[in-house]
Amino acid sequence: MEGIFILIAEDDADDRFLLQAAFDENAFKDKLHFVDNGVEVMEYLQALIDSGNKAELPKFMLLDLNMPKKDGREVLKELKQHPELKKIPVIIFSTTNNEQEMRRCYELGANSYITKPNSFENLLKTVAALRSYWMQPSGISL
């Protein structure tokens, strides 16, 4: 399968390592770009736009909710209000498994909400399913 660009906002180094390993283990040739906090998300995406590289925007984004400087909820709200970034599919990827929190994220514009798997085997399956879904021709296109 061809490689795609995925932006991952995750402040936990262990979770970043496991996500990278899951993509590698599934033999995906994707370009993963990790940022540590919500401020970095917005700065990185704005830099792509400012440099005229809108075609380089991510196919989709995994967004942790609980990050320093600017949390995932704030980032989600900003993204969905931005005229050039609002089309990026945002998948909330969080340990928070609370129905009220999920509802709030969907109201803010999240395209999906996934609770982080509790094992590497389940993470492998989750990564494969996520990627498969967002690579389908019927998926949201930018």
Over residues 50-89, the pLDDT tens digits come to 888 766 888 889 999 888 888 888 999 999 999 888 888 9
Over residues 79-99, the pLDDT tens digits come to 999 988 888 899 999 888 889
CA atoms of 105 and 138, how far apart (whole Å): 23
Check residue 138 and give its pLDDT: 45
Residue whose pair of structure tokens reads 């967004």 in the numeric block: 63
Inter-CA distances, 124 with 4, 25, 28, 121, Å: 17, 8, 11, 5
The type of residue at 69 is K
Check residue 96 and give its pLDDT: 80
Angle at CA of residue 119, ends 115 and 120, nearest 5°: 105
Angle at CA of residue 94, ends 46 and 44, nearest 5°: 10
Check residue 17 and give its pLDDT: 92
* Domain architecture of the chain: domains with CATH: 5-133 (3.40.50.2300)
